[in-house]
Structure 1
Amino acid sequence: MRLLIYFISFLLFHPLSAHSALQDIPDAVKSKIAPPSIDASSWLVADFETGWVLAGKNTDQRIEPASLTKLMTSYLVFEALRNNEITMQDRVYISEKAWRTGGSKMFIEVGARVSVLDLIQGLIVQSGNDAGVALAEHIDGSEQGFASRMNLMAAELGMTNTNFTNSSGIPEDNHYSTVEDMTLLSMALIRKFPELYRYYSQSEFTYNDITQQNRNILLTRDPTVDGIKTGYTKNAGYGFIGTALRDGMRLVAAVTGSSGKVARADQVQSLLQYGYGAYEGLIAYQAGTEIKSLPLWFGETSQASIGVLKKLSVIFPKGKSDKLSATLELPASLEAPIAAGAPVGYIQVKYDQQPIYRTSLQVNESYAEGPWHKRILDYIKQLIF
């Protein structure tokens, strides 16, 4: 009964969702250092682990996502690979529609058969609109069908202000997003597909004897930057979502409506520098490590190991780690049988005694019932004590 109550509490306060929306950094832990002045229509910088937005402007303003659209296209291609819907070796037929698609290209030829691997690099490194159409048609038969898949995934990821009508980002009336939604998508892509995300750090790709450079010029400026995507249309201006990983702390910065290619890179770099200059990160606990053990009744062992389901990481103003503390909310004991991953309580992280982050605690491994004589003995102990 006690475990049922804790499970219900878990569902009420922590809905079972693979993704959560971005949120402003708690006031208690917000740095007093002002963010840089950014000359763009909308922008933000956020912490990857917590989803905290450190600073931003017009983050929910509707934008033309332009080639940032390809983040969703690649997300769904990666998912199709993981689900064995397609393989890297598939030879994709290039339709006339894909070949004729305007804008940036990888220069595939109508009627050719091109591997999924080449198309992924053409999509990501060369920002090929033609590659986006070809991949969409290969997965769902048509770009329209693939757009439906894109919108279903956008809803699943919590992208509440986004609608896709194509796989490349070519402007259309009902094709829109926000800098917040595109940042949320970027974080989901990095988190879910770490082994495939590496294509976003690829500096160049050659196809059909044509070599094109990755438009993310921060890849050559800063070795800690490993992604992620640029975009441009005449109406939208220049957009860029960049991310860096320094000492285990990943930040994501995004700008849209910038004035030029260099300007957008400078602005993203400035936002990343601000984040790393004003804050530092701390990995409090890794997933599966023991934070505390609890007495276990009716089990083969007498103690149960308790930890966090996923890595617990927080950020705070630089040099102020002494202001961090944590409290545990746990029952006095547990009862076997209990499965690994079962939620049993919470950990509350505080900064300067102010709550800033709360997440569930779980059982690190499964515990079966003990032999009958131990269960009887434990029952007697409960009656006595």
Structure 2
Amino acid sequence: MKKILAAALLLSVSATPLAASAPSYDSTAPVAFMKDLSSGAVLYDKDADRRIPPASMAKMMTTHVAFLLIQRGELSLDQKFTVRPETWEKWHGPKAGSTMFLSPGEEVSVENLLHGIVTLSGNDACVVLAEGIAGTEEAFTDLMNKEAKRLGLSNSHFGTSNGWPDEGRTYVTARDLAKLAEATILETPDLYKRFYSTRSFTWGKTMGGQAIAQDNRNPILGKVAGADGLKTGHTAEAGFGFTGSAIQDGRRLVMVVAGLDSAGNRIKESVRFMDWGFRAWRAQPLFKRGAIVETAEVQLGSATTVPLVAPRDLAVTLPRTASGNVRAKVVYNGPIKAPIAKGQQIAQLIVATDDTGPQVMPLVAGEAVAEAGFFGRLWNGLKSFFG
């Protein structure tokens, strides 16, 4: 059963309690969402569960799937895929939107295709990568939707690899886009750093033989300290959107804006929104990395309990001017069955404040606990019975 420790933790934020309301913000975007990944706090939610067309923000899922395949060793960065003439015919020229300027019959590495997707937003690069990985774009979208299900993106569906309008088959929500960004950042951090913060990329040549260099469209790169991702999107149907992330002083924020009416307003709102997230809120330290927060009961193990420790420095997100007390509890499915690996996530620290929803942070096993042998299980059973 799910066990909530009866002894809740009272964490003092300040010796002098002071009432403070959540910082106000009025986004100019019809849809907007912001989450502090460091604490799990949702800082802003404006129609974040409305289904919207993602436009090129769908490419975040194409990239995420490729990153996972690379991490698992099922795809390599130096692997090359050939640009099919039929794919080139469909995805070149003004009618095809953003392009990497691939050529028919060209062999392109996975690494360069990923730069073409992330930095250049190339619709052609997406389809070439999808066909190279899965044989057809349709088969690749099956992988995208399977991954969306794994991540719990319950209001998203992908009908294309690049977000091109498809009569509504492809849709997302701002909350789901933030979850997708979070998964990429946390599950494939090295690949995220390698590709998403690239400022420009050169591929293809003009009719005159000049190399074509294109800048990353990310509106906060170079404008917000610590900005390092992720992806813009634009179609007539979707308007101008952006999913972005930045890290400052150990706090990583993910933001989504959608439905803006111009590229200029997308830049202004993205910068203003992210600046608000860092300036209006602060992190209050709770536990240092490695600190024991609680202990959990163990079933059928060489030990009857295991320490629950902070896998990283843990902090609660509060309004900049807030002080007072926050309430916390440790939750786990218990008793936890052995074997347990050291560092395995087995519990959560859930922190409640007056100004945000629950802030959920991971807790891991501080020690390994082996599965007990017959006599060990018998002895533990007797101790439990008489205890």
Q: Same fold (TM over 0.5)?
A: yes
- Distance verdict in 2 for CA 1:110–1:287, change over 3 Å: farther
Cα distance in 2 between the residues matched to 1:84 and 1:106: 26
Aligned partner of 1:86 in structure 2 is 75
What is the CA-CA distance between 1:41 and the residue it aligns to? Answer: 2.4
Contact 1:98 1:131 in 2 (8 A): no
What is the CA-CA distance between 1:32 and the residue it aligns to? Answer: 3.2
Q: Which moved more, 1:94-103 or 1:169-178?
A: 94-103
What is the CA-CA distance between 1:78 and the residue it aligns to? Answer: 0.4
TM-score, normalised to structure 1, is 0.79
Aligned partner of 2:287 in structure 1 is 285
Aligned partner of 1:340 in structure 2 is 341
Q: Which moved more, 1:269-278 or 1:86-95?
A: 269-278
One-letter amino acid of the structure 2 residue matched with residue 190 of structure 1: I
Contact 1:10 1:360 in 2 (8 A): no
Contact 1:162 1:181 in 2 (8 A): yes
Matched, 1:52 2:41: yes
One-letter amino acid of the structure 2 residue matched with residue 45 of structure 1: M
Q: Return the structure number with greater helix share.
A: 1
Aligned partner of 2:187 in structure 1 is 192
Aligned partner of 1:117 in structure 2 is 111
Aligned-partner SS, 1:196: helix
Contact 1:350 1:356 in 2 (8 A): yes
Aligned-partner SS, 1:218: coil
What is the CA-CA distance between 1:187 and the residue it aligns to? Answer: 1.3
Contact 2:77 2:109 in 1 (8 A): yes
Structure 1: any 5+ residue segments left out of the alignment? 1-7, 12-28
Contact 1:30 1:316 in 2 (8 A): no
Aligned-partner SS, 2:45: strand
Aligned-partner SS, 1:80: helix
- Distance verdict in 2 for CA 1:364–1:180, change over 3 Å: same
Aligned partner of 1:34 in structure 2 is 24
Cα distance in 2 between the residues matched to 1:106 and 1:327: 50
Q: Percent identity?
A: 31
What is the CA-CA distance between 1:302 and the residue it aligns to? Answer: 10
Cα distance in 1 between the residues matched to 2:151 and 2:236: 28
One-letter amino acid of the structure 1 residue matched with residue 196 of structure 2: Y
What is the CA-CA distance between 1:62 and the residue it aligns to? Answer: 2.1
Cα distance in 1 between the residues matched to 2:299 and 2:129: 55
Cα RMSD over matched residues? 3.8
Aligned partner of 2:246 in structure 1 is 244
What is the CA-CA distance between 1:115 and the residue it aligns to? Answer: 0.7
What is the CA-CA distance between 1:214 and the residue it aligns to? Answer: 0.1
2:317 to 301, 306, 315: 315
Map 1:71-220; keep pairs closer than 5 Å. Answer: 71-100=60-89, 101=91, 102-173=96-167, 174-198=169-193, 199-208=195-204, 209-220=211-222
- 1:181-229 CA-to-partner distances (Å, cap 9, x unmatched) read 2122111111111101121111001112211000013212123211111
Aligned partner of 2:11 in structure 1 is none
- Distance verdict in 2 for CA 1:30–1:224, change over 3 Å: farther
Cα distance in 2 between the residues matched to 1:72 and 1:202: 18
What is the CA-CA distance between 1:141 and the residue it aligns to? Answer: 0.2
Q: How many residue pairs get matched?
A: 359
TM-score, normalised to structure 2, is 0.79
Aligned-partner SS, 1:219: coil
Structure 2: any 5+ residue segments left out of the alignment? 5-18, 205-210
Q: Which moved more, 1:288-297 or 1:312-321?
A: 288-297
What is the CA-CA distance between 1:79 and the residue it aligns to? Answer: 1.0
- 1:26-85 CA-to-partner distances (Å, cap 9, x unmatched) read xxx9843211x3232211222224443322222122211110010000001101111222
- Greater relative contact order, per chain length (Cα 8 Å cut-off, separation 6+): 2
- Distance verdict in 2 for CA 1:349–1:136, change over 3 Å: same
One-letter amino acid of the structure 2 residue matched with residue 339 of structure 1: I
Aligned-partner SS, 2:190: coil
Cα distance in 1 between the residues matched to 2:159 and 2:304: 57
